[in-house]
Amino acid sequence: MTMTQEYIRVTDFKQTGEHSLLVKFSDGFSREIDFTPALKGNSLKPLRQPEFFSQVKLDKARGALEWPNEADFDPETLHNWPQYLKAFKNWHPIET
């Protein structure tokens, strides 16, 4: 007998604020996420602009959220956002 691990995927989302999304997952769980603490570093810097942040799309093949500059967030990270929040708040990347 083989066990199959089901991977969490984003199935839908709705923007709820300048940098916030209500994210729905394949396991039926939903979470509202304020991305502000994570918008650091060169790849995520454009997302600080509300007009750019609102260009988020669902990559249905991967079940992930992504933006036009190829910035993305893994579904597992989004699903378990509180576990990653402290790391995002303490992360100080070098920006060019």
pLDDT (0 to 100) of residue 90: 73
For residues 26-45, give the mean pLDDT: 92
Band of residue 96 on the pLDDT scale cut at 50, 70, 90: very low
15 within domain boundaries: yes
Question: How far apart, in whole angstroms, are the C-alpha atoms of residue 87 and residue 85?
Answer: 5
Q: Evaluate whether 28 touches 49 at the Cβ level (below 8 Å).
A: no
Which residue range is the domain that position 66 belongs to? 10-90
59 within domain boundaries: yes
3 within domain boundaries: no
Contacts 24+ apart (CB under 8 A), 10-18: 10/58, 10/63, 10/64, 10/65, 10/75, 10/78, 11/58, 11/63, 12/58, 13/56, 13/58, 13/65, 15/53, 15/54, 15/56, 18/50, 18/53
pLDDT tops 80 at residue 4: no
Model-level pTM? 0.85
Question: Which range (62-66, 74-78, 91-95) has the least confidence?
Answer: 91-95
80 within domain boundaries: yes
Domains: count for the chain: 1
CATH of the domain at 69: 3.30.2020.10
pLDDT tops 60 at residue 5: no
5 within domain boundaries: no
What whole-number percentage of the chain has pLDDT above 70? 88
95 within domain boundaries: no
Quote the radius of gyration of the chain (alpha carbons, Å). 14
Question: How far apart, in whole angstroms, are the C-alpha atoms of residue 38 and residue 34?
Answer: 9
